[in-house]
Amino acid sequence: MTKNKVLIVDDQNGIRILLVEVFSSEGYETFQASNGKQALEIVKNHAPDIVLLDMKIPGMDGLEILKHIKNIDSETKVIMMTAYGELDMIKEATELGALMHFTKPFDIDELRMAVNSQLGKGPSNRLAVGS
């Protein structure tokens, strides 16, 4: 059985390291990117199942990256992370297909449970694979 792939996109190294640790220990294959260009390369080459995407990234912002991810593969699940309560951006991200958002500093367990539930692990309903 192949592992689910999680891509973490954040310009803050500490957050990437923390999330890679958390999701690797959950049994996911993890990828990380500090900018939009890296993130889109990983999406093209590795097709992650879910992307944890920071809203504020130098160069290409989270909304722009989200649009590109959805163009590459509309099935890719995306959870936004934001340090600010930018409600207009969050609303736009949701319209663009983001599943949910977490405001930093977020509860790491809540984020972990959200990812597990989106990928059909844990107490949530199992998702049909390959449908």
CATH number at residue 56: 3.40.50.2300
pLDDT in tens, 106-127: 999 999 999 999 999 864 333 3
Asked whether residue 124 is domain-assigned, the answer is no
Distance, in Å, from the CA atom of 24 to the CA atom of 6, rounded to the nearest integer, reads 9
Asked whether residue 113 is domain-assigned, the answer is yes
pLDDT in tens, 81-111: 988 767 788 999 999 999 999 999 999 999 9
Asked whether residue 36 is domain-assigned, the answer is yes
Q: 54 is in which domain, residue-wise?
A: 5-118
Asked whether residue 127 is domain-assigned, the answer is no
Query: Total domain count for the chain?
Result: 1
Asked whether residue 84 is domain-assigned, the answer is yes
The two tokens of residue 103 are 């405001």
Asked whether residue 131 is domain-assigned, the answer is no
Asked whether residue 49 is domain-assigned, the answer is yes
